[in-house]
Amino acid sequence: MTTPQLFQPTRIGDIEVANRIIMAPLTRSRADEAQGDIPGSAMNVDYYRQRSGAGLIISEGTQVSPVGKGYMATPGIFSEGQVEGWKPITQAVHDAGSKIIAQIWHVGRITHPDLTGGAQPVAPSAIQPKVAAYTHKGKVDVPVPHALSVAEIKEIVQQFRQAAANAIRAGFDGVEIHGANGYLVDQFIRDGSNHRTDEYGGLVENRCRFALEVVDACVAEIGAGRVGIRLSPLTSFNDVSDSHPQTVFGHLVEELNNRGIAFIHFIEGETGGPRDVPGFDYAWARQAFKGTYIGNNGYTREMAIDAIASGKADAIAFGRMFISNPDLVERLKHNATLSEANPSTFYTPGPVGYTDYPAL
Ligand code: PHB
132 domain-assigned: yes
Rg (CA), the chain: 19
Q: 340 CA to middle of ligand 1, Å?
A: 19
List 71, 183, 200, 293, catalytic entry: 183
> How many whole angstroms from its chain centre is CA 38?
18
Residue-level pLDDT at 35: 98
Ligand 1 atom with least separation from CA of 70 = 2
For residue 208, is it within any domain?
A: yes
Q: What is the DSSP letter of 38?
A: B
Assigned domain for 2 exists: no
Distance 177 CA to ligand 1 centre (A): 14
Residue 176 sits in a domain whose CATH number is 3.20.20.70
| Assigned domain for 360 exists | no
Any ligand 1 atom below 6 A from CB of 188: no
Active site residue 200: no
pLDDT tens readout for residues 158-211: 999 999 999 999 999 999 999 999 999 999 999 999 999 999 999 999 999 999
Phi-psi category of residue 234: left, alpha or beta, with phi > 0 → left and psi -120 to 50 → alpha: alpha
Is this structure's pTM higher than 0.85?
A: yes
Full residue range of the structural domain in which residue 257 is found: 21-345
Nearest C-alpha to atom 8 of ligand 1 is from which residue? 181
Specify the ligand 1 atom closest to the Cα of 178.
10
1, part of any domain:
no
Tell me, yes or no, whether 12 lies in a domain.
no
Nearest CA to ligand 1 atom 5: 27
Assess whether the C-beta atom of 61 lies below 6 angstroms from ligand 1.
yes
Give me the pLDDT at residue 1, please.
Answer: 65
Q: Residue 312 has what pLDDT?
A: 98
Determine if ligand 1 sits within 6 Å of the CB of residue 27.
yes
Instruction: List the residue whose alpha carbon is closest to atom 4 of ligand 1.
Output: 27
- Residue 185 in any domain: the answer is yes
Structurally, the chain folds into a number of domains equal to 1
CA 122 to each of CA 77, 142, 161, 186: distance values in angstroms, whole numbers, following the listed order: 19, 11, 18, 13
Ligand 1 mutation pick, 30, 103, 111, 181, max ligand atoms within 8 A of CB: 181
Which atom of ligand 1 approaches the CA of 71 most closely? 2
Give per-residue burial for 207-244: e unless 16+ CB within 10 Å, then b.
bbbbbbbbbbbbbebbbbbbbbbbbbbbbbbbbbebee
Which residue has the least CA distance to atom 1 on ligand 1? 27
* Residue 136 to residues 63, 68, 111, Cα–Cα distance (Å): 18, 17, 13
Which of helix, strand or coil describes residue 226?
Answer: helix
Q: How far is the CA of 62 from the centre of ligand 1 (A)?
A: 11
In which residue ranges of the chain is pLDDT below 70?
1
DSSP output for 96-131: TT-EEEEEEE--TTS--TTTTTTPPPEESS----S-
Which residue has the least CA distance to atom 10 on ligand 1?
Answer: 181
For residue 209, tell me if it sits in a domain. yes
